[in-house]
Amino acid sequence: MNVILIYPEFPDTFWSFKHALPFIRKKASLPPLGLLTVAGMLPAEWNKRLVDLNVKRLTRKDLAWADLAFISGMAVQKDSARRVIDRLKEAGLTVVAGGPLFTMEHEAFETVDHFVLNEGELTLPVFLEDFIGGHAQRIYSSSEFADMRKSPVPLWNLADMNRYASMSVQFSRGCPFQCDFCNVTSLLGHRPRTKTPGQIIAELDSLYRHKWRGGVFFVDDNLIGNKALLKDGLLPALIRWRKNKKGFPFNTEISINLADDGSLAAMMADAGFDSVFIGIETPNENSLRECGKTQNLKRDLVGDVKRIQRAGLQVQGGFIVGFDSDTDTTFQRLIDFIQRSGIVTAMVGMLQAFPGTRLHDRLKSEGRLLDKTSGDNADGTTNIVPAMNMEVLQSGYRNLMNHIYSPEVYYRRIKTFLNEYRPKKIKTPLGLRRSADYGYAFLSSVLRLGIAGKERAEYWRLVFWALWRRPNLFPLAVTLAVYGYHFRRICELHID
């Protein structure tokens, strides 16, 4: 059996980094971890081929070779998924679909032959047994949650690692919090479930054997959802593992309450984590109460961010505008917060209601849902009727984004961050690695940002400032300058 595993293309979004990746000669940020894990659960005797449409084309030879096609993706990949499914069906292939997009919206894909929904560790073995026996059903789903200790090591050999900026692993699924706009808990539950530390070390060893030395993203919904398991298990294992390894800086997603636990933040830095994404959403406490983001209430959020930065972890932040409690002053308050906190990578999106969330259910009952969500909350659109006037919301959002990513404001924020950032040790360069890729990236940044770019004056001020004030963080300063170019292009192409 020849099986082709297909990952649809991401549109040009905030997190795609499509305008930054050419600086390091990469095609995509991350490989499709879900499909590589699924590949590890397929029969060993089946021949497997990965086609990630973010790094290569689906060719006629691929279609002629395959007997069966698996496809997975997220909501933001919906349009690409439809196009590729049409091609697969035209080629006469049986199509099996799974992952978040199809779990939430499988009714919208009428031509798919089989849906393997929810968590593959539960539904894929049942499908495979039926498929091999010749009596596969159309839909396989489960209301239970998988035991992640049964999840296999992803088949990294299927991916062309040279085309990716980073690799990814997953330690846990689920989140203990109850934000009403987030579909993580509807898909994966409130109780964090984890692999064993030994499983993670096995996955990292596999990456190391495949000669990977770059960054690794822990794709967990909230890595610190169970702090005890981190402190007593995973982090000590990572610290021991890294003693004789080069490379492998880690990043992940966490909640703001990391700021309450200095020892945990220190352990994460010792284990190799150098950046974290935190859903801060808004400094407006009424809006935080409205969406159930109780873990962010009654805090000095700027102070919390700076404590995490001083522990050696760059904070990337997620923010939302369009809550019912927001007013026309929200936009300036958010600008001020982002600038004071030194959160360089600030992903601000308009509130969207995803199927399966409490927000979606509430707005549906109120008759306030518009079209289905695009899956990209930073494209300047929303699928809800906001309490605020829609024109005020859209205008305020555009002005906010254009302001925080204007060169003067953005480069000032880089300096604010670098002044606070206190990595304990720098065993490997931060940001763009000292390698042929880093040299190429720096020269590209000089040409595209320092000479041809509108931001050239700010770029050179940052370069000389970093060399004089924080020379050990110079590679990170260049990395953030390149990110800024990507974010400005997103604003110009999709938000203005």
- Residues 189-200 pLDDT 10s: 888 899 999 999
With cut-offs at 50, 70 and 90, classify the pLDDT of residue 432. Answer: very low
- Residues 54-109 pLDDT 10s: 999 999 999 999 999 999 999 999 999 999 999 999 999 999 999 999 999 999 99
Contacts of 392 (CB under 8 A, 6+ apart): 328
* Whole-number pLDDT of residue 91: 97
- Residues 208-228 pLDDT 10s: 999 998 999 999 999 999 999
Rounded to an integer, the average pLDDT of 416-442 is 72
- Residues 238-270 pLDDT 10s: 999 998 887 789 999 999 999 999 999 999 999
Instruction: Compute, in degrees rounded to 10, the torsion defined by CA atoms 186, 191, 196, 202.
Output: 20
**Measured in Å, how far apart are the chain's first and last C-alpha atoms?**
49
Closest CA to 153 of 38, 54, 260, 58: 38
Pick the CATH number of 165-420 from 3.40.50.2300, 3.30.750.24, 3.20.20.70, 3.40.30.10: 3.20.20.70
With cut-offs at 50, 70 and 90, classify the pLDDT of residue 425. Answer: low
* Whole-number pLDDT of residue 186: 81
pLDDT at 444 over 70: yes
Q: Are strands 215-218 and 166-169 parallel, antiparallel or unpaired?
A: parallel
- Residues 365-386 pLDDT 10s: 999 999 877 777 777 889 999 9
CATH class entry, domain 2-140: alpha beta
- Residues 124-142 pLDDT 10s: 999 999 999 999 999 999 9
